[in-house]
Amino acid sequence: RWSHRAEISSVERREDARTTMRAVAARVSATPGARLAPNAASTARRARAGCRARTRGRGPSSTAVPTWIRPRAASAEGSSSSSSEAPPEPEPEPPARTFAKEISSIASEGLATALAAVDDRLSVAMRAEGARGPDDDDDETSASATSVARAAADAEREAVDIVACLASTGALRGFGAARLVPRRDYALSELKLNGIEAERLLSPTESTISNLRDAVSKALALVVGGWIFAAHPSGSTLAAAASVAAGALVVDQIGFGGGVEALVLDTLAQTTSTEYKARLRIHEAAHFLVAYLMGILPKGYTLSSLDAYEKYGALNVQAGCAFCDGAFQREVARGKIGSGSLGRFSCVALAGISMEYIAFGFSEGGVSDVRQLDGMLRALAFTQKKSDSEVRWAVLNTITLLRRHEACVRKLSEKMAAGASVGECVRLIEANLGDDI
């Protein structure tokens, strides 16, 4: 019965094709001197070919409907091809991340409890930041430092996992959820169209500290000159005083990386300049927010060198943010940094000066941030053109992100000035995020 129906269907299709050819021929012959149009000619040829193919009797598999009588939806729009390509298969979604039972249990206890657990682990991780210093040859000291570093690494990894687990359940909307600008090469003119003057942004001056350093140097010179004029010290006394001063400077620069000088100047600047203090706060708040939205958990922060010294008892820790960047450091150690990791690093590095530019029209602090980014691109052997492309994209992306969340940055800076923990800052960010992250 199936063969009989197929044969009847085949006969009907042959009759339809012949009817179509007759209609085409009749329309052409009705016009004196007319010639078959290309489409009509190809239609007739395909009809004859279809009849011949079907009369050869290859069975049901050879009687596919030719494209000229298929519905238009089956062919590509605007194409005259006789065949259409199948749509590409969608890429498989990455498997959902799984977490350890302990991490999932902590995350399930609620946002407040989970973020408190994050703070506990980050405080352990930050102890290693304060303990970092010159290498020591003593075996016992080295073993102790290694133990501290291992405990800090474990605590940091657990803190990141807890936050990632909270984000996967929807408890945290903003972590790693930033909407980025498209990645491509941007010209300086495109930055200007977006209200960004790169020369005012990427050339921080640190004028407050520089001016203060000059003022302190002049004041010391006046004090020394007055002492010499009043006391008339001997040559040996002057030589001894000069030796002590030079030795102190050498010890500070070599032993503490200039920490004593930075502590003195930063404390004086925060005491004498309210603008400097406001700049520093929004600078660090921008680092914190951009890192969080880009998927990097802040580990801790300080808003002054004195604060860093009081918290960690080390002069080599200055004002700034520390981040849980273990994954990035492992990529650096392997010598292979992905474009996503590099983009996050670039945006976080430029966040501080970008926020200063938004708030004040130019950037003052952040020279070390720019140098750090430049050093990273040089280490990756980027050409100048490729480096410029990376920096311009990062500038546009970071400023767009900060303009979108400027109110949140200002509230975060006030929260950080009050000494809030990382978990408390995260809760403030989540409470002030809009629908467009």
Q: What is the pLDDT of residues 81-127, one digit of tens each?
A: 434 444 444 545 556 678 889 999 999 999 999 999 999 999 998 87
Of 396, 393, 394, the C-alpha closest to 404 is: 396
Residue written as tokens 């040996």?
236
> Tokens for 157?
């990894």
pLDDT at residue number 12: 53
Residue 320: the pLDDT is 87
Model pLDDT, residue 300: 92
44 and 24 Cβ atoms separated by less than 8 Å: yes
- Burial profile 91-126: b = 16 or more Cβ within 10 angstroms, e = fewer: eeeeeeeeeeeebeebbeeebeebbebbbebbbbbb
**What DSSP string describes 286-342?**
HHHHHHHHTT--EEEEESSHHHHHHHH--TT--SEEEE--HHHHHHHHHT---HHHH
Q: Which residues share a beta bridge with 298?
A: 323
pLDDT of residue 291: 96
Buried b (16+ CB within 10 A) or exposed e, 401-424: bbebbbebbbbbbebbeeebbbbb
The pTM score is 0.72
Output helix, strand, coil percentages for the chain, rounded to the nearest 5. 70, 0, 30
Mean pLDDT by 10 residues, the chain (437 residues): 44 55 48 43 47 42 36 38 43 66 92 94 82 53 76 91 94 93 92 90 81 84 84 83 84 78 85 89 95 94 87 73 87 82 92 93 84 88 91 95 96 94 95 88
Answer for the pair 277, 270: CB distance below 8 angstroms, yes or no.
yes
Identity of the amino acid at 159: A
